Chain A
Amino acid sequence: MGSVAHLRRGIAAGPALVLLLASAAAAQEPEPRLGSGPAALAGLGYSTGGGVGLGLAWYQRLGQRPFYVAPHLGAGVKALQSPELSAHGWCAGAWFVYGHRHRVLLSADYGVFRHESLSLHGSFVAWRAIQGPQLGLGYEWVRANGFVFQLVPVFAYPVRGVHSSFERKIDYLVNIYAGWKIW
């Protein structure tokens, strides 16, 4: 899921926001779903172009403290500059989450995070996916009804699909997800 929803730059204050929100807002509503269970999420965002996607995760609670490991898998599409070309991507990894309603989230993923497009004489005719490991630190909010929201700034390092030195740059992305923790 991590690959398909990217918001880029401009949210450099992400980690600070995480701490602020996590420390604020004492619980005014019933406890969120704190047990282990699946979640379905949808994401959107921006890296080198806007994209949308869907993902599935399993939140596994470890011990008595509100600490979770959530392996997840996602796929999505990205509209390139040309409407005829719709690049797609996938991502797999794990989230490490701590907290009750407002949570700190560390994400470690591998997958597609960028697409290079081929323009022949001004027309887009093909694309190539850039893959690599992605590491992020962000914020997760879970409501009592199971609603989940994530905001995760991510650094991504290209290792596969890279052809030129220009493409071998570290990307800074922001992923935004919303979904439901099913139980």
Chain B
Amino acid sequence: MGRLVMGRSPGLVAAVVAVAAWAGACSSPRCGLVACDIRAPACQQRLAEVTACLREAPVEAVPVRVISLEQYLTEVDVSVRSQTTELRFGRLAQGLSLFAFAPAQLTLTDAVAEQAWAAALYDPDKHAITIIDRGEPMDSHWQVALLIHEYVHALQGKRGVADFDGPTDRDLGASAALEGEAVLVEDLAELELFAASADDVKWSEVFGKWQGRSVQRMVQESAPLLVADQHFVYPFGTPLVHHTWKNGGWAAVDALTATPPASSRQVLAGAGAPEPAGGPWTEPMDTEPIPALAPSFELLVVDELGAWMLEIFLDRLEYDLARRGASNVAYHPLDNRALAARLRADRFAVQDDPTATSAVTSWRLRFDGADGAQRLLDWLAPRVPPFLRAWRQDRDVLLVASNREALVASFGPALPWKAPPAPMPMPRLHAGHPVR
């Protein structure tokens, strides 16, 4: 039959074959991805295979459980309360509020409730994925991509890429690589569902707008320190990994995630960028990093916040002044990035005296040179509120604030400093790698 038709009308047959090939190319995505309800085991199995195909990696069998939002929030609550208490968290919030990093009235219950945005997560300790079921079908393109995102984390777990649990800034740097890889594959999956090519996307515009919005949100968030990861690791990690992938393929991404950026500053500098001053991306804080206060003070947190949070802190000061009409300088996001990019090390600490409800919050910032420190000091001088004092010691800027006027009066170069007994990072309000 085929020969007969060929003999009679080869042109027609060629056209039919060409149309069939075109139709096949359009309707059959490269990895065979089709939307399905991610709560169904068959769908999960299929998406594990698609993830492996997109990521060009072996298929990884990962247990998947589906739980209700109520159960998820209960689990988050239990996890968070194993790290801190309502009372202690309230004292911490009081200290964070002195740098406008959280409202003084923020409760642990409210902070946990903020985690209701998660739709799924990968738990590296259990090497398992959890899907949060809100009682409705989960077969939209973004929900399919969501499960693929979590399967990428499972592949990372299989590769032995460690989930970093330490100072905030190092966590931001490492998580940016891990989440960036997961979002990259997630994006490729969504494009495949729309039969679109990654080559047709104006990625620099997409990422630029995304980052701009993230900065704006951080500037306007009531508790920016508690959501810093949400607004940093995705919008800044994804371009980092995307650039790495475009230039070196998945092998380069493997290398990036195996040796991730050490700080948010390194992520902000971009893929493969050298340290601006030719030095290390981070350096140890070899001087006493927290104020030595009266023995009645208890240390609640000592953490490294890094360049991203410094940028946000400066942006928020400027935004707040502009909003209150107290400054004739228009607020421009990103103006402070160059200054923050010179930060080499920092220690942020909250101490309080529970008997007197006195909180003292300090931030010691070390720059790559004394001129960088002086520049920050000059910038801060007309902008800091009266309960916050700032001064310079060589390459360091020291910021100390308190809710007690008498204490503020004692802050200055004569204030003694000491080493903390042990690292005490901020409590983590979520487990694993959640995604919306």
User: Which residues of A come within 8 Å of B, CB atoms?
Assistant: 84, 116, 118, 120-123, 125-128, 163-167
Contact = CB atoms under 8 A, between A and B. Distances in A.
B190 A164 contact: no
B14 interface: no
Interface stretch (B194-202, B342-350, B402-410): B194-202
Nearest to A121: B210
Contacts of B194: 116, 118, 126-128
The 9 nearest A-B residue pairs measured at CB: A126-B196, A163-B35, A121-B210, A126-B194, A165-B137, A164-B140, A164-B139, A123-B206, A118-B194
A43 B35 CA distance: 33
B205 interface: yes
Contact of A125 (B35, B206, B213, B238): B206
B191 interface: yes
Interface in B1-48: 34-35, 37
B209 interface: yes
Contacts of A167: 140
Nearest to B196: A126
B306 to A, nearest CB: 23
A122 B213 contact: yes
Interface in B139-154: 139-141, 143
B163 interface: no
Contact of A120 (B35, B137, B206, B213): B206
A125 B139 contact: no
B137 A164 contact: yes
A128 B201 contact: no
User: Which residue of A84, A122, A127 has the most chain B CB atoms within 10 A of its CB atom?
Assistant: A122
B148 to A, nearest CB: 14
A118 B189 CA distance: 11
Interface string B306-334: 00000000000000000000000000000
Given A118-B196, A121-B210, A165 B139 contact: yes
Interface in B209-224: 209-210, 213
Given A122-B210, A125-B196, A166 B187 contact: no
Contacts of B37: 165
A131 B140 CA distance: 18
Contacts of B209: 121-123
Contact of A163 (B140, B210, B238): B140
Nearest to A127: B194
Contact of B207 (A121, A163, A164, A165): A121
B79 to A, nearest CB: 28
Contacts of A126: 191, 194-196, 200-201
B235 interface: yes
B329 to A, nearest CB: 28
Interface of B is mostly: helix
B193 interface: yes
Given A126-B194, A163-B34, A164-B35, A120 B140 contact: no
Q: Size band of the B side of the interface?
A: 20 to 34
A166 B140 contact: yes
A118 B141 contact: yes
Interface in B114-146: 137, 139-141, 143
Contacts of B193: 118, 128, 163
A176 to B, nearest CB: 29
B191 A125 contact: yes
B235 A121 contact: yes
Nearest to B143: A164
26 contacts: A84-B202, A116-B194, A118-B190, A118-B191, A118-B196, A120-B191, A121-B207, A121-B209, A121-B210, A122-B209, A122-B213, A125-B196, A125-B202, A128-B194, A128-B195, A163-B139, A163-B141, A164-B35, A164-B137, A164-B140, A164-B141, A164-B143, A166-B137, A166-B139, A166-B140, A167-B140
Given A121-B206, A123-B202, A165-B137, 9 more contacts: A118-B191, A121-B207, A121-B209, A121-B234, A123-B206, A128-B194, A163-B34, A163-B140, A166-B139
A56 B417 CA distance: 83
A127 B191 CA distance: 10
B34 A120 contact: no
A82 to B, nearest CB: 11
Contacts of A164: 35, 137, 139-141, 143
Contacts of A118: 141, 190-191, 193-194, 196
A158 to B, nearest CB: 13
Contacts of A122: 206, 209-210, 213
A84 B206 CA distance: 12
A89 to B, nearest CB: 16
A81 to B, nearest CB: 13
Contacts of B202: 84, 123, 125
A26 B44 CA distance: 65
B190 to A, nearest CB: 6
A127 B205 CA distance: 18
Interface string B343-359: 00000000000000000
Contacts of B137: 164-166
A165 B235 CA distance: 29
Nearest to B206: A123
A125 B210 contact: no
A123 B35 contact: no
B190 A120 contact: yes
Nearest to A162: B35
Nearest to A165: B137
